[in-house]
Amino acid sequence: MRYSNEALDAYASQFERDGMVLLKQHFRKDILVLWRQAFDAILAHRLEHATTAVRGANRHYITLPFAGVFADEQIFCDPDVLAIVERVAGEDPVMCQLASDTPLRGSTYQDIHRDTPALFDDLPETPSFQLAVNFPLCDVTPENGPFETTLGTHRMNAQDAMQAYAAGELPLHAIPMQLGDVMIRDVRALHRGTPNNTDSPRPMVVIGYSRSWYFRPEVHIDVPRNVYQTLSARGKRLLRYMPQVDGVDVLEGGESYLRFAY
Ligand SMILES: O=C(O)CCC(=O)C(=O)O
């Protein structure tokens, strides 16, 4: 562990207030360089076969195979990240999503949105139940499409948040990131993707962690049985509700997670 209990508590408090925290220089860059190499081959293949989920002009959502470099417990079982996830979304979370968001040149501003509906319509927002852990596979600069988010709207009713945004009461914050930085966010905060004005793709990985009892039918991770056997008890526990399969083809695949904005 890198952080003390006091530091993790402080991150959890910051998350409660803002709906997100940023851990600077947390993941090893040499690991992420390998992810980028493997990702570039997948991106090229998926673009060629038009098997991405399109999230706006020249903006692609691609599920990553839970195999090879991507099935790395140093990333998805990171003790500091999980300690913050557990502080804000309860003990014994489940991992339900391993994917990527990639704007290319020609991408545009997304409409401001949340990634999931509220648990209960027309009621004040609940504690957190769905978190995204995001980390880029490159530096994210003002030029290549930084994620933009409001702060604190994860605790606001969706309509109130939208009204406040429309009234100019909620500033958007661009989040520049360096390779190695990790963002943990509540997916109900109003946010948007911004244009990538460079020739280099800007892949952002998303690992989804849910409260222990929460099920998202729109996403899942196919876990190859032989990979599952190599995992620690913690890794197996995180993936306890994910389907196990004989193998995954790292290039093939389509996307079933098509409705993404609420
Ligand atoms: O990748 C990004 O910067 C944000 C993408 C996003 O919010 C989405 O596609 O839902």
pLDDT tens digits, 168-205:
999 999 999 999 999 999 999 999 999 999 999 999 99
User: For ligand 1, what atom is nearest to the CA of residue 194?
Assistant: 3
193 CA to middle of ligand 1, Å?
4
Q: What's the 258 CA to ligand 1 centre distance in angstroms?
A: 13
Into how many domains does the chain fold? Answer: 1
Percent of the chain surpassing pLDDT 90: 90
Residue nearest ligand 1's atom 6 by CA = 193
Q: Once rounded to an integer, what is the mean pLDDT over residues 151-176?
A: 95
Which domain does 133 fall in, by range? 15-244
In a domain, 9, yes or no: no
Q: Is residue 4 part of a domain?
A: no
pLDDT score recorded for residue 254: 77
From atom 9 of ligand 1, which residue's Cα is the shortest distance away? 55
Task: Tell which atom from ligand 1 comes closest to the C-alpha of 146.
Answer: 3
What percent of the chain is modeled with pLDDT above 70? Answer: 100
- The tokens describing 257, both together, are 């997670």
Average pLDDT over residues 222-247: 96
Confidence grade of residue 36 (pLDDT, cut at 50, 70, 90): very high
User: What is the tally of helices (H) and strands (E) in the chain?
Assistant: 7, 12
- If one residue of 43, 54, 55, 153 were mutated to test the ligand 1 pocket, choosing by the most ligand atoms within 8 A of its CB, it would be 55
Answer whether residue 171 is part of any domain: yes
Buried b (16+ CB within 10 A) or exposed e, 196-217: beeeebbbbbbbbbbbeebebe
Ligand 1 centroid to residue 226 C-alpha, Å: 32
Q: Tell me which of 43, 58, 63, 110 to substitute to probe ligand 1's pocket, judged by most ligand atoms within 8 Å of the beta carbon.
A: 110
Higher-confidence residue: 201 or 260?
201
Q: What is the pLDDT of residues 94-149, one digit of tens each?
A: 999 999 999 999 999 999 999 999 998 877 789 999 999 999 999 999 999 999 99
Residue 252 pLDDT > 80, yes or no?
Answer: no
* pLDDT score of 44: 97
Q: CA–CA separation, 72 vs 78, rounded Å?
A: 10
Entry pTM: 0.96
Looking up tokens 């990171």 gives: 78
The pLDDT value given to residue 127: 95
How far is the C-alpha of 204 from the C-alpha of 181, rounded, in Å? 11
In a domain? residue 70: yes
The pLDDT score that the predictor gives to residue 259 is 77
Ligand 1 atom index nearest CA of 147: 3
In a domain, 256, yes or no: no
Q: Within a 10 A sphere around the Cβ of 60, how many other Cβ atoms? A: 23
Domain contains 203? yes
Amino acid at 165: Y
Residue 261 included in any domain:
no
Confidence of residue 150 (pLDDT cuts 50, 70, 90): very high
Instruction: Give the CATH number of the domain where residue 225 resides.
Output: 2.60.120.620
Confidence of residue 210 (pLDDT cuts 50, 70, 90): very high
Q: What is the pLDDT of residue 41?
A: 96
Nearest to 158 by CA among 200, 113, 196: 113
What is the pLDDT averaged over residues 217-227? 94
Mean of all residue pLDDT scores within the chain? 95
Among protein residues, the one with the nearest Cα to ligand 1's atom 5 is 193
Residue 80 lies in a domain: yes
Taking the centre of ligand 1 as the mean of its atom positions, its distance from the CA of residue 150, in whole angstroms, is: 13
Residue list, ligand 1 pocket, CB within 6 Å? 55, 101, 110, 115, 145, 147, 191, 193, 204, 260
